[in-house]
Structure 1
């Protein structure tokens, strides 16, 4: 039986972006079934003692920018630490990803997730804009307008709410967050540990 990894994230997270393709590659390498669960970090942070970026101390914000630059260079992944369209609400993109999974499956959802993340951090595109989201889904090979319409339904909102509640129940406090065999791993810099867990 294939091992399962639950993948909690917010689509506008730069660290989720830095880890996304590497995580997808690991899942393929080990034949892992991924549970794609975008969630609302805005509801999770107050419960877990975190602060939104705008409310963090200046020294923390400065260090974050330095870390993004370091990781971008180390991984050779293009990233603008201060993109034009950020901060940006993640809810519409998260719901597009959920709609994609419901219509086309996990691989499609992971593909669209990668497109959304690149749009923010490498392509200077606004993922808060419905037309941009539809275009990203279309570029991934799917009917962008149909998925966008689907993403606005009550059933997709219910899934999004459920994933957020599941993240809270799993003691998630940041993104990305990977869960393997009940063990949580926070951050793309923990992917070496995720791989060890998947390889067991």
Structure 2
């Protein structure tokens, strides 16, 4: 039986960005099916007790930057600690990812996800802007305008809402979050444990 991993994330999360390509590679290595679920992390925070970045204590904000720099250097993944377009709403990007999955499948959606994350964290692009998102999708080999149009439909909004509700039901409180065999793993720094779960 093929193992499945639920992948909850917010496309604007730097931590999801740092883990994304490694997670995709692990899933491919162990032939794990990814159930991709971009969700509204702001709603998840409001229910689980988390705070948006701007409302966190200064010492927490400062340490976040230290850790991001450490992990970026450790993983040798480029990351701009203060990108031009952050904070940014993740909803348009999340819905584009959902539209891509519906039209072209999970692998295509995972590729677009990685491209969106790089656009924000290394390329100084505004992923809250639909023209930018259309361009990113086009660069991945898709009809960007068609996907944007689909992403703005009620059916995609319903999927986005459902994924967010599923995140809450799964006790998610941060991103990225991986669920394997009913067990949750929070953060890209837990991918070693995710890999062990894939091997079981």
Q: Which runs of 4+ in 1 moved over 2 A?
A: none
| Equivalent residue, structure 1, for 2:156 | 156
Residue aligning to 1:115: 115
The match for 2:29 is 29
Matched residue SS, 2:116: helix
Q: Residues of 1 paired with 2:49 and 2:89: CA distance? A: 20
SS of equivalent residue, structure 1 residue 185 = strand
Q: Pairwise mapping of residues 6-155 of structure 1 onto structure 2 (< 5 A)?
A: 6-155=6-155
How large is the Cα RMSD of the aligned pairs? 0.4
- Distance in 2, matches of 1:181 and 1:145, equals 37
How many angstroms apart in 1 are the aligned matches of 2:72 and 2:122? 11
Report the TM-score when normalising by structure 1: 1.00
What secondary structure is seen at the aligned counterpart in 1 of 2:89?
A: coil
Gaps of 5+ in 2: none
Distance in structure 2 (CA, Å) of the matches to 1:121 and 1:67:
15
Aligned to 2:2: 2
Distance 1:49 1:129 in 2: 29
TM score, norm. by length of structure 2: 1.00
Q: How many pairs are equivalent?
A: 200
Distance in 2 (alpha carbons) for counterparts of 1:2 and 1:94: 26
Distance 1:2 1:140 in 2: 27
Alpha-carbon deviations, 1:46-100, whole Å to 9, x = none?
1111100000000000000000000000000000011000000000000000000
